[in-house]
Amino acid sequence: MANILLVEDDTTFATILDNFLKKKGFDVVVKYSVKSGIEALKAHEFQLILLDYRLGDGIGLEVLDALHAQDKVIPSVIMTSFNDVRTAVNAIRQGVFDYITKPVNPDELLMVVNEALEGKSAGKADATSKARKTRIDTTPGLDFVEGASTAARKLHEYIALVAPTDMSVLIRGESGTGKEYVARTIHQKSKRAGKPFVSIDCGTLSKELASSELFGHVKGSFTGALNDKTGQFEEATGGTLFLDEIGNLSYDVQVKLLRALQEQVIQPVGANKTINVDVRVIAATNEDLLGSGKFREDLYHRINEFEIIVPALRDRRGDFQQFVDFFVRKANEELGRNVEELASEVKEIFNAYDWPGNLRELKNVIKRMVLLSPGTKAEASALPEEMVYAIKRSADAPATAPSAENPDLRLHSEAHERKLIVDVLQKAKYNKSKAAQMLNIDRKTLYNKMEKYGIE
């Protein structure tokens, strides 16, 4: 049975999880801090990591940073409070397989653990290939909702327009909006549809790994290079290479990537020869690449021959019911359930909630709801308690003021925006990039709002 590392600083909760998982046949090593979790990674081999997001000496993602520094990839699941869902969704781009909200339901936990161990990720890759997927797609995808809203029509008009060309495409959008789905659809509608679609999650690649993963290496070129390795540019020749979260690539790798795109040649690490490649590159990001100050402007313009912005779920309310029906049907198939309708209270909560984690969060919430619904009707009791509570609290007190602990701009009305922006700018010492990050918006949006409200 799998060996699991559990890092949780609540000793009572850790004991409950430990006992539950051991009863299910898993071997569990429990640690209570970031430091001890990192030490455990050095001393043991694990098939899965369960991490609390907030720990006494840091955050769970620091354990994953240490894991990546060792050039290892192990499926990991973040356990977090409902209020940290937005952060948990963003953590997926750093290689987290999935997240689960507290209080943890045992059936839901077991489902997520088994899916992680089986490699059934909603967009992540298998551990043996350093979070990489290589797959040849030869038929149009049928497993999606196109939608009929204005935003959906515009999105698919852009896809249809750019797909037949060989232009490089930059897909922008919040975490969980379905950027890889857009990339796959472009590939499937292109002249390259019968060739490989290779997807790389740049968020999981260390600086050392990235060059080898993208361009390959020759035997003996660095410690651990025991054999020649074919890079993903070469694997994707004739097809499409999708670089998810491209903003995570180091400056040195960006230089090599620019050359590869400009000259259509690559040079494996340690090799003296170059290799010609024929690859269409589609990149994706959920951040302001130029505003970050870490991304080369010449590379930005090279990958951004055509830009597609994927709308957030809250901006696709006209498609919302289609997404709900789709995810309920999928969850019924996967879990052997027969949910046919949602209680009126569930519908009200769904409509009132702003879905910061977008489609990924909607999918997770619905899958949990279906799992906890033995009958044909899903009740509000099958939703996360904090979600229900947050909506009821919002209905009871709609005019709550922004708080320092939860300054997310989207949660507050326009009447509060100016004061909130000024307060956060002061807190960030007028570092606009930091302020935008704290407000969970990009820098361009922050600038527009500053101009709107006359903030100097």
Looking up residue 284, the CATH number of its domain turns out to be 3.40.50.300
272 and 370 share one domain: no
> What's the confidence (pLDDT) of residue 421?
82
Confirm whether 53 is domain-assigned. Answer: yes
Confirm whether 401 is domain-assigned. Answer: no
142 and 266 share one domain: yes
Residue 186 parent element (H or E):
helix 179-188
141 and 184 share one domain: yes
CA–CA gap between residue 352 and residue 361 (Å, rounded) = 15
Confirm whether 166 is domain-assigned. Answer: yes
> Where are the extended beta strands (E) located within 39-195?
48-52, 54-55, 58-59, 76-80, 98-101, 132-136, 169-172
CATH number (domain holding residue 110):
3.40.50.2300
> What's the confidence (pLDDT) of residue 72?
75
> What's the confidence (pLDDT) of residue 415?
47
Q: What predicted TM-score, i.e. pTM, was given to this entire model?
A: 0.68
CA–CA gap between residue 25 and residue 122 (Å, rounded) = 25
190 and 336 share one domain: no
329 and 304 share one domain: no
Is residue 290 within 8 Å of residue 280, measured between CB atoms? no
Confirm whether 259 is domain-assigned. Answer: yes
200 and 268 share one domain: yes
> What's the confidence (pLDDT) of residue 170?
97
99 and 144 share one domain: no
Number of domains comprising the chain: 4
Q: Which residue has the tokens 């081999």?
A: 45
47 and 112 share one domain: yes
CA–CA gap between residue 270 and residue 175 (Å, rounded) = 36
**Of 305, 276, 73, which Cα lies nearest the Cα of 186?**
305
Domain boundary among 368, 396, 424: 396
Confirm whether 350 is domain-assigned. Answer: yes
Which residues, at least 6 apart from 20, have a Cβ–Cβ distance to it below 8 Å?
Answer: 106, 109
The pair of structure tokens assigned to 270 is 């340690």
> What's the confidence (pLDDT) of residue 149?
87
154 and 261 share one domain: yes
Confirm whether 66 is domain-assigned. Answer: yes
CA–CA gap between residue 95 and residue 91 (Å, rounded) = 7
Confirm whether 264 is domain-assigned. Answer: yes
137 and 41 share one domain: no
> Where are the extended beta strands (E) located within 117-174?
132-136, 169-172
CA–CA gap between residue 451 and residue 453 (Å, rounded) = 5
Q: Could you give the C-alpha distances from 61 to 91, 127, 393, in angstroms and in order?
A: 8, 17, 30
- Beta bridge partner(s), residue 398: none
Confirm whether 282 is domain-assigned. Answer: yes
Name the residue range of residue 420's domain. Answer: 409-453
CATH number (domain holding residue 444):
1.10.10
**Of 346, 408, 412, which Cα lies nearest the Cα of 377?**
346
pLDDT tens-digit profile, the chain (456 residues): 789 999 998 888 888 888 899 988 999 999 999 999 999 988 888 999 999 888 888 888 888 888 877 767 788 888 877 656 666 666 665 667 888 877 777 888 888 898 888 874 433 333 333 334 434 343 344 466 888 888 899 999 999 999 999 999 999 998 889 999 999 999 999 999 999 999 988 877 776 678 888 998 888 777 666 788 888 999 999 999 999 989 989 899 999 999 999 999 998 888 888 899 999 999 999 888 988 788 999 999 999 999 999 999 988 989 999 999 999 999 999 889 999 999 999 999 999 888 888 998 899 899 999 999 999 999 999 988 778 776 776 666 544 444 444 454 444 444 456 777 887 888 777 777 777 777 767 676 777 777 766 776
Which residues, at least 6 apart from 127, have a Cβ–Cβ distance to it below 8 Å?
Answer: 73, 74, 75, 119
291 and 322 share one domain: no
CA–CA gap between residue 323 and residue 312 (Å, rounded) = 13
CATH number (domain holding residue 357):
1.10.8.60
Q: What backbone phi and psi angles, to 5 degrees, belong to 398?
A: -70, -15
> What's the confidence (pLDDT) of residue 350?
93
Domain boundary among 92, 124, 156: 124
Is residue 280 within 8 Å of residue 168, measured between CB atoms? yes
Query: Which 3 state secondary structure label does DSSP give 18?
Result: helix
Q: Could you give the C-alpha distances from 274 to 215, 222, 270, in angstroms and in order?
A: 10, 18, 11
Domain boundary among 373, 396, 419: 396
Question: What is the CA angle 59-60-64, rounded to 5?
Answer: 125
Query: Which 3 state secondary structure label does DSSP give 367?
Result: helix
Instruction: Print burial letters for 172-186: b (CB count within 10 Å at least 16), e (below 16).
Output: bbbbbbbbbbbbbbb
The pair of structure tokens assigned to 390 is 């947050």
**Of 142, 187, 146, which Cα lies nearest the Cα of 163?**
187
214 and 329 share one domain: no
